[in-house]
């Protein structure tokens, strides 16, 4: 999977979960009056563009909310002792997370999901209690670059985004077809073809993997990749071949971004996913949904997040 997409999802997950666990959520656009009321003798003000960081479905993510979210992110990193200079292009990641959160919330609304007024009030009151009362919560809002209205809007959109994630991932079951395979990775095609001939002539796969494979994480185990499900291997061409190969048959030479592979499938069966694989597939389902949603939403980034 593309690493930047995974990082963006991690940021999104933090934003969605944090408000439920600690009362600290993502900044979600809330309407604010940015113009002073005219006096009786003043002419009506000329329309001015809404200061927006991005537009989604023709609606803005307000620049003020984006800047507040960056401030919250920076404060959180400071508390963790993380040097912001070590984080590459984090403003862009924050904006991407806000865009993805909005897309998920709008997707939830489009699918008829909602948060009732009573439910929102109940959660809000629990946050007040957890924060130590109204005075303490007001201080927390100010320290975290919120007003009460923007916080309530953030809370509602966090909850909607979370419900959309639940809906998207509901179809990712705990059991699925998996294969147990091993491979040899080399950087030279001629060497791969030579090893293929040796294997087809009865050469020992584990020994050749230990001697030649450049995948150091599996070489010590004779090239064993373990069990994996569709969509979880970082080498798509190898994964595709694994699910089409017969058992105990040496593959043709396979090419990936890493080099040239020889593959042998040892077992196939329906198995329970590991917690890591199950979570990975859930994340991938959300990322795929978001990719399609971005195409349909006409997302326009106005602010250069750097």
Q: What is the pLDDT of residue 25?
A: 38
- d(C-alpha 286, C-alpha 49), whole Å: 33
Query: For position 50, what pLDDT does the model report?
Result: 75
pTM above 0.75, yes or no: no
Q: What is the 3-state secondary structure (H, E, C) of 49-115?
A: CCCEEEEECCEEEEHHHHHHHHHHHHHHHHHHCCCHHHCCCHHHHHHHHHHHHHHHHHHHHHCCCCC
Return per-residue pLDDT of the chain as tens, 306 residues: 344 444 454 445 544 444 444 443 333 333 323 233 333 444 554 455 678 999 998 899 999 999 999 999 999 999 999 999 898 889 999 999 999 999 999 999 999 999 999 999 999 999 989 989 999 999 999 999 999 999 999 999 999 999 999 999 998 989 999 999 999 999 999 999 999 999 999 999 999 999 999 999 999 999 999 999 998 888 999 999 999 999 999 999 999 999 999 999 999 999 999 898 999 999 999 999 999 999 899 888 986 655
CA distance 143 to 22: 14
d(CA 30, CA 68): 12
Radius of gyration of the chain (CA): 26
Domain boundaries, the chain: 3-32+49-171+283-301, 175-272
- Tokens encoding 230: 């569709």
Q: What fold does the segment set 175-272 form as a domain?
A: Chitinase A; domain 3 (3.10.50)
- Alpha-carbon span 163 to 157, nearest angstrom: 10
What's the confidence (pLDDT) of residue 88?
84
- The Cα–Cα gap between 270 and 179 comes to 9
CATH number of 3-32+49-171+283-301: 1.10.4030.10
pLDDT of residue 145: 93
Cα 207 versus chain centre, distance: 39
Tokens of 151: 């916080």
């Amino acid at each position: 999977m593309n690493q930047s997409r995974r990082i963006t999802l991690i940021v999104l997950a933090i934003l969605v979960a944090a408000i439920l666990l600690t009362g600290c959520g993502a900044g979600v656009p809330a309407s604010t009056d940015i113009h002073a009321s005219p006096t009786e003798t003043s002419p009506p003000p000329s329309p001015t563009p809404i200061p927006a960081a991005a537009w989604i479905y023709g609606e803005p993510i307000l620049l003020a909310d984006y800047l507040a979210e960056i401030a919250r992110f920076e404060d959180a990193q400071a508390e963790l002792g993380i040097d912001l200079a070590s984080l590459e292009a984090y403003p862009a990641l924050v904006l991407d997370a806000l865009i993805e959160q909005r897309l998920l919330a709008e997707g939830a609304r489009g699918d008829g999901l909602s948060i009732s007024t009573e439910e929102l009030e109940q959660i809000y009151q629990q946050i007040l209690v957890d924060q130590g009362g109204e005075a303490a919560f007001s201080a927390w809002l100010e320290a975290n670059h919120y007003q009460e209205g923007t916080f309530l809007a953030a809370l509602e959109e966090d909850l909607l985004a979370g419900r959309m994630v639940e809906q998207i991932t509901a179809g990712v079951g705990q059991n699925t077809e998996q294969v147990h395979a091993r491979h040899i990775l080399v950087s030279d095609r001629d060497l791969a073809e030579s090893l293929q001939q040796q294997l087809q002539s009865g050469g020992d796969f584990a020994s050749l993997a230990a001697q030649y494979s450049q995948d150091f994480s599996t070489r010590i185990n004779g090239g064993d990749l373990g069990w994996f499900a569709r969509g979880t291997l970082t080498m798509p061409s190898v994964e595709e071949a694994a699910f089409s190969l017969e058992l105990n048959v040496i593959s043709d030479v396979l090419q990936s971004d890493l080099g040239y592979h020889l593959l042998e499938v040892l077992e196939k069966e329906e198995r329970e996913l590991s917690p890591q694989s199950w979570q990975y597939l859930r994340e991938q389902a959300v990322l795929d949904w978001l990719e399609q949603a971005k195409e349909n939403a006409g997302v326009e980034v106005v602010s250069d997040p750097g």
